[in-house]
Amino acid sequence: MLEQKELIWVSKEVKTIFESLDSDHEKLRIVDDLIKNRKLDITYAIESLDDDLLVFKAFSLKYKTELQKVYDEQSDKLEKLFENCGDVQSKMYLKIEETKTKLEPIIGKIKSINETLEKVNTYKIERLIELIEKFNRMSGEDKRLFEILIRNTDIK
């Protein structure tokens, strides 16, 4: 007989009620009620999960909306920044042109000075520098003789 029985877990209250019943029909009705209640519990749990899912979807939608709002605000700010950069770029270009206009006369003068310096004959200056260097390397006695030679020579 033990082979036809099965062990199930129930609350002590259900166990007491179950044991107090005499007929199998009443016991079967209790088991059916327990199954129905369990099904209701599962149904309520599923409904609760559905409610939680709806809350999560609402939260996600709110989150998405706020993110889109932040994105749009930042996009507008970035667009204004690029517009300002365009103004800065045109101002810089105007300032560069103004500076270039102011420098043109100076550049012309520098070119004129360079042309004048290129026409200067540096050969005589280089020879004079070499002569001074030789004079500086002379001994004291040679320098005195050189001075006497220069005083007695008519160099013009």
Identify the residue with better confidence: 8 or 34. 34
Domain boundaries, the chain: 10-119, 121-156
Asked if residue 5 has pLDDT above 80, the reply is no
The contacts of residue 143 (CB under 8 Å, 6+ apart) are: 135
Please list, in sequence order, all residues whose beta carbon lies within 8 angstroms of the beta carbon of residue 72, skipping any fewer than 6 positions away.
Answer: none
Amino acid at 47: E
Check residue 156 and give its pLDDT. Answer: 55
pLDDT over threshold 60, residue 16: yes
Residues whose CB is less than 8 angstroms from the CB of residue 10 and which lie 6 or more positions away in sequence, other chains included:
18, 34
Question: How far apart are the C-alpha atoms of 5 and 86, rounded to whole Å?
Answer: 88
The encoded tokens of residue 10 equal 């129930």
Q: Please report, for residues 70, 72, 88, the alpha-carbon distance to residue 82 in angstroms, rounded to integers and kept in the order given.
A: 18, 15, 10
The pLDDT, as a whole number, for residue 1 is 47
Of 1-5, 19-23, 33-37, 145-149, highest mean pLDDT: 145-149
pLDDT in tens, 73-109: 999 888 888 887 777 778 888 889 999 998 888 988 9
Per-residue model confidence (pLDDT) at position 69: 93
